[in-house]
Structure 1
Amino acid sequence: MPVITFKYQDLKDLGINMEKNELIDTLPMMSSDIEDFNDEEIKVEFFPNRPDNLSVEGVARSFKGFIGQEVGFPDYKIEESGEYVIVDKDVAAIRPYIGFAKINNVDFSGDKLKYIMDFQENLHWVIGRDRKKVAIGIHNADAVNGPFKYIATPKDANAFVPLEKDIEMTPDEILTEHEKGKDYAHLIRNFDKYPLILDKNNNVLSMPPIINGELTKLKEDTHNIIVDVTGTDAKAVNQTLNIICSSFAEVGGQIKSMEVKYEDKTLVTPDLTPQEMNVHVDTANELIGGTDLTAEDIRELLLKARFDAEIISENEIKTIIPSYRVDILHEVDIIENIAVQYHINDVIAELPDINTVAYENNWFKSEATIREVMIAMGFQEVMSLMLTNEEAHYKKMNQEEKPHVQVARPITIDRTMIRTSLINSLMEFLEDNKHEDLPQKIFEIGDVLYLDETKENKTVSSKKLAALVCHSTANFSEIKSIMSSVLSNLGYTMDISDSENKTFIEGRAADVVGEAQKGIIKGFFGEVSPEVITNFTLDYPVIGFEIEFINK
């Protein structure tokens, strides 16, 4: 999860005068965790659903409310800059959305420049999915002049000096030679043109989502900045810009709006218009439990959460939500904030007023049988997380990326989606344990999740069994024999056909279907292709299978 580091003096400079020991005891009560601390600084971990707390300014803003030092809606003023950015229609196919803002009177002295860089990178993966969805650029505004242009340029045109370099490079050279270019080339490499942000004199501010220009590099004596946020999701772009602007405004930065001129519309960014949502007193008391809060009690707690609140009736309160609070999606999110401000430890624990008789789920009975069969055949069980990432799940497995459930606020960049298959998790296990003796025989029984528009929650889960075998002579005959034994012992028939699964060697893989009284199965088995084996840095042949259980 995101961890931010700051000094105790930073909070004092922001108006919080609290003894170190009391601060360490109090911070965890506002949904954070102390990772480490010493006499000078502290490391604090926040859940990804609160990206507004990933800067020391955001922490101070929330903490002031929590301790009652400063409550209510922080109303940040925006002035018009009179400047604009023109969006070239050709960027629509690459990174179609952009948000622009000017912020004057910023302070980058001391550690503040490092803090804003850390803040930017945390936002890149919490909201931006490691720059795929959103990328941020922060520039010295005094080094360039508007109006600005957001264009798609040919790969060998508009050479510029990228950040931390002293020679000009074309966009194509940056992707192949620059450190950051090689890290993020996969985000735009497949397009014919690359995005650039230019000023009126064609000076390059940024090549999103890759690298900024050296011309607009931030320094300690920089006082006026331009913030650009580009991406593939308009909502995420605007939310990110709002969070950054609000953080700077918290310490005296003057936000200036800019017009973004698309071919068919003109927008003004940032837009800090608050959201309104009603919360109900009875619902809050019911969900929190052990409380008897009144409308006035809840109003005061909402003010401490840095919302504004207006009592409509004894049972309903209108809540004004700042634009930087991108985590508020439903009334229950507001109630969570009420519980935090009330202090979770003060909530009286109550047993639920229900009686139930427990019995074992039929699937778990079947799972126990499957486990016995696999262990009897010499396999060792692996239990992995349902969360994985697109790189490991699709690219390294030679599979085309398909629609899947994504994590809106991923905890880490390698846990960005919910799996639809078990095989890649087993390959990762082999990769992590390749120092162990061969043969290695592993299996996993677990859930996967598919998108399904016909379901109320748009998803459907399914049960799967997967296994891998790794040793120097592993081959198709061996995995076919294993597959046959597993299905026979579980009471299923086995019909096989040719498979086009790209994870396996062509001609050495098969699709399988089977049927039993309790249901049907479908799946595949074969020899894993050398390319996939190399992707996971393995040195020996791997064979495997995966089957899905479908109830009749």
Structure 2
Amino acid sequence: MPVITFKYTDLKDLGIDMEKDELIDTLPMMSSDIEDYDDEEIKVEFFPNRPDNLSVEGVARSFKGFLGLETGLPNYPITPSNEEVVVDAEVAEIRPYIAFAKIDNVDFTGDKLKYIMDFQENLHWVIGRDRKKVAIGIHNADVVNAPFKYIATPKDANAFVPLEKDSEMTPDEILTEHDKGKAYAHLIDSFDKYPLILDKDDQVLSMPPIINGELTKIKEDTHNIIVDVTGTDERAVNQALNIICSSFAEVGGQIKSMEVKYEDKTIVSPDLTLQEMNVHVDTANELIGGTDLNAEDIKGLLEKARFDAEVLNDNEVKAIIPAYRVDILHEVDIVENIAVQYHINSVEAKLPEINTVAYENDWFRSESIIREAMVGLGFQEIMSLMLTSEEAHYEKMNQEEKPHVQVARPITIDRTMIRTSLINSLMEFLEDNKHEDLPQKIFEIGDVLYLDDSKENKTVSSKKLAALICHSTANFTEIKSVMTSVLSNLGYTMEISDSENKTFIEGRVADVEGVSEKGYVKGFFGEISPEVITNFTLEYPVIGFEIEFINK
């Protein structure tokens, strides 16, 4: 999870004068975790749902509310800069969205420059999905001139000096020769043109999402900046800009808006419009448990959470939410903030009033039978996380990426989606254990999640069984025999048909269906293709199957 580092003196400069021991005891009460500390600085971990706390300014803002030093909405005035950004229609197919802001009177002296760079990279992970969804650029505003242009440029045009270099490179050269270019080339190298941000005189500010230009490099004596945020998700782009602008404004930065002109619309950026949401007193008391809060109590706690609040009646309070609080999606999120400000440790523990008689779920009884059958065939069970990444789930498995459930605030870049298959998790397990003796025979019974618009929560879960075998002579005949034994032991009749599953070797893979009185299964089995095996750095043949259980 994101970890930020700051000195105790940084909080003191921001208005929080607290002894080290008291600070270390108090910070975890506001949904954080102390990773490490010494006599000068502290490392604090925040959950990804609070990207506004990934800067020391954001921490101070939240902490002041928690301590009652400052309550209610912070005021961040915006004045027009009378400058504009013109968006070329050609970027719509590459990175279609951009948000811009000017911020004057910033301070980058001391450790502040390092802090803002760390803040930027944390937002790239938490909101930007490692720049795929959102990329952020921060520039010296005093060396460029409006109006600005966001264009799609040919690969060999508009050469410029990239950050930390001393000679010009074309966009294509940056992707193939520059360290940052090679690291993030996969985000744009499939397009015929690349995005660039230029000023009035065609000076290059940035090549998003890859790298900024050396021209606009931020230094300690920089006082006025331009922030650009580009991406593939308009909502996420605007959220990232709001968080950055609010953080700078917290320490005296003066936000100036800019007009972003698309072909069909003009948007004023940033937009710090407040959000409103009602919270019910009875709902809050029920969800927190052990509390007897009234409307006035909740109003006060919301103000400590840096919201404004208005009592509507005895059972309803309107919460007015700042634009940087991008985690507030539901009334439950408001209740969570109330609980934090009330202090979780102050909630009285008590036993539930309802007694129940427990019994084993039917599916878990079935799981035991499946597990017994697999162990009887010589397999060892593994248990992996439901979270994985698009790279491991699709790219490394030779599969086309399909619509799937994404993690809005991923903890790490390799846990960005919820799986729809188990096979790649088993392949990752083999990769991690390739030093062990062969043969290796592993299986997993686990849940997967699909998108389904017909459901209330737009998703549906399903149970799957998958297994892999790795050794020097593994082949199609062996896995077919295993598949037959598994389905037979579970009471299913088996039918197989041709398959075009790209994870497997063509002609050595089959689709399978099984039918029984309780329902049916469908899936596939075969020999994993050499390309997939290589993608997971394995050296021996791998065979496997996966089936999905569908109840009648």
TM range (shorter): over 0.9
Q: CA deviation at 1:267?
A: 0.8
Q: 2:402 maps to what in 1? A: 402
Q: 1:170-319 maps to which residues of 2 (within 5 A)?
A: 170-319=170-319
Q: Match of 1:319, SS?
A: strand
Partner AA of 2:548 in structure 1? E
Query: Is 2:117 the partner of 1:112?
Result: no
Q: 1:56 maps to what in 2? A: 56
Q: Match of 1:548, SS?
A: strand
Q: CA deviation at 1:351?
A: 2.2
Q: CA deviation at 1:39?
A: 0.7
Q: 2:349 maps to what in 1? A: 349
Structure 1 CA distance for aligned equivalents of residues 363 and 300 of structure 2: 48
Q: Match of 2:454, SS?
A: coil
* Unaligned segments of structure 1, at least 5 residues: none
Q: Match of 1:310, SS?
A: strand
Structure 2 CA distance for aligned equivalents of residues 514 and 285 of structure 1: 50
Structure 2 CA distance for aligned equivalents of residues 356 and 46 of structure 1: 37
Q: 2:32 maps to what in 1? A: 32
Structure 2 CA distance for aligned equivalents of residues 373 and 154 of structure 1: 59
Partner AA of 1:185 in structure 2? A
For residues 493-527 of structure 1, the C-alpha deviation after alignment (integer angstroms, 9 at most, x for no partner) is 11111110000000111111111112111110111
Q: Match of 1:45, SS?
A: strand
Q: Match of 2:160, SS?
A: coil
Q: 1:439-450 maps to which residues of 2 (within 5 A)?
A: 439-450=439-450
Q: Match of 1:494, SS?
A: strand
Q: CA deviation at 1:226?
A: 0.3
Q: 1:88 maps to what in 2? A: 88
Q: 2:380 maps to what in 1? A: 380
Partner AA of 2:395 in structure 1? K
Structure 2 CA distance for aligned equivalents of residues 370 and 277 of structure 1: 47
* Number of equivalenced pairs: 552
Partner AA of 1:344 in structure 2? I
Q: Match of 1:136, SS?
A: strand
For residues 21-67 of structure 1, the C-alpha deviation after alignment (integer angstroms, 9 at most, x for no partner) is 00000000000000111111101000111000000000000000001
Q: 2:435 maps to what in 1? A: 435
Structure 2 CA distance for aligned equivalents of residues 57 and 301 of structure 1: 21
Query: Is 2:284 the partner of 1:321?
Result: no
Q: CA deviation at 1:4?
A: 0.5
For residues 169-208 of structure 1, the C-alpha deviation after alignment (integer angstroms, 9 at most, x for no partner) is 1111111111111111111111111110000010000011
Partner AA of 1:83 in structure 2? E
Query: Is 2:530 the partner of 1:530?
Result: yes
Q: Match of 2:474, SS?
A: coil
Q: 1:331-370 maps to which residues of 2 (within 5 A)?
A: 331-370=331-370
Q: CA deviation at 1:352?
A: 2.3
Structure 2 CA distance for aligned equivalents of residues 159 and 473 of structure 1: 53
Structure 2 CA distance for aligned equivalents of residues 285 and 441 of structure 1: 51
Q: CA deviation at 1:315?
A: 1.7
For residues 432-482 of structure 1, the C-alpha deviation after alignment (integer angstroms, 9 at most, x for no partner) is 111111111100000001111111111111111000011111111111111
Structure 2 CA distance for aligned equivalents of residues 221 and 293 of structure 1: 50
Higher alpha-carbon deviation: 154-163 or 23-32: 154-163
For residues 136-184 of structure 1, the C-alpha deviation after alignment (integer angstroms, 9 at most, x for no partner) is 0000111111110000111111111111111111111111111111111
Structure 1 CA distance for aligned equivalents of residues 479 and 409 of structure 2: 39
Q: 1:44 maps to what in 2? A: 44
For residues 367-418 of structure 1, the C-alpha deviation after alignment (integer angstroms, 9 at most, x for no partner) is 1111111111111101000000100000000000000011111111111100
Q: 2:493 maps to what in 1? A: 493
RMSD: 0.8
Structure 2 CA distance for aligned equivalents of residues 434 and 221 of structure 1: 52
Structure 2 CA distance for aligned equivalents of residues 526 and 539 of structure 1: 17
Q: CA deviation at 1:353?
A: 2.2
Q: CA deviation at 1:317?
A: 1.5
Structure 2 CA distance for aligned equivalents of residues 267 and 417 of structure 1: 31
Structure 1 CA distance for aligned equivalents of residues 279 and 515 of structure 2: 51
For residues 76-122 of structure 1, the C-alpha deviation after alignment (integer angstroms, 9 at most, x for no partner) is 01111111100001111111111000011111111111111110011
For residues 264-292 of structure 1, the C-alpha deviation after alignment (integer angstroms, 9 at most, x for no partner) is 11111011111111112122112111111
Runs of 4+ in 1 over 6 A off after TM superposition: none
Q: Match of 2:493, SS?
A: coil
Q: CA deviation at 1:135?
A: 0.5
For residues 287-318 of structure 1, the C-alpha deviation after alignment (integer angstroms, 9 at most, x for no partner) is 11111111111111111100111112222212
Structure 2 CA distance for aligned equivalents of residues 265 and 519 of structure 1: 53
Partner AA of 2:341 in structure 1? Q
Structure 1 CA distance for aligned equivalents of residues 528 and 21 of structure 2: 56
Partner AA of 1:39 in structure 2? D
Query: Is 2:141 the partner of 1:148?
Result: no
Q: CA deviation at 1:350?
A: 2.4
Q: 2:508 maps to what in 1? A: 508
Q: 2:453 maps to what in 1? A: 453
Structure 1 CA distance for aligned equivalents of residues 346 and 417 of structure 2: 36
Q: CA deviation at 1:487?
A: 1.1
Q: Match of 1:428, SS?
A: helix
Structure 1 CA distance for aligned equivalents of residues 67 and 178 of structure 2: 47
Structure 1 CA distance for aligned equivalents of residues 332 and 366 of structure 2: 37
* Unaligned segments of structure 2, at least 5 residues: none
Q: 1:66 maps to what in 2? A: 66
Structure 1 CA distance for aligned equivalents of residues 301 and 289 of structure 2: 16
Structure 2 CA distance for aligned equivalents of residues 182 and 511 of structure 1: 39
Q: 1:129-140 maps to which residues of 2 (within 5 A)?
A: 129-140=129-140
Structure 1 CA distance for aligned equivalents of residues 379 and 284 of structure 2: 50
For residues 217-268 of structure 1, the C-alpha deviation after alignment (integer angstroms, 9 at most, x for no partner) is 1111111110000011111111110000000000111111111011111111
Structure 2 CA distance for aligned equivalents of residues 171 and 460 of structure 1: 43
Partner AA of 2:82 in structure 1? G
Q: 1:479 maps to what in 2? A: 479
Query: Is 2:128 the partner of 1:128?
Result: yes
Structure 1 CA distance for aligned equivalents of residues 282 and 475 of structure 2: 64
TM-score between both structures, scaled by the size of structure 2: 0.99
Structure 2 CA distance for aligned equivalents of residues 467 and 346 of structure 1: 48
Q: CA deviation at 1:355?
A: 2.6
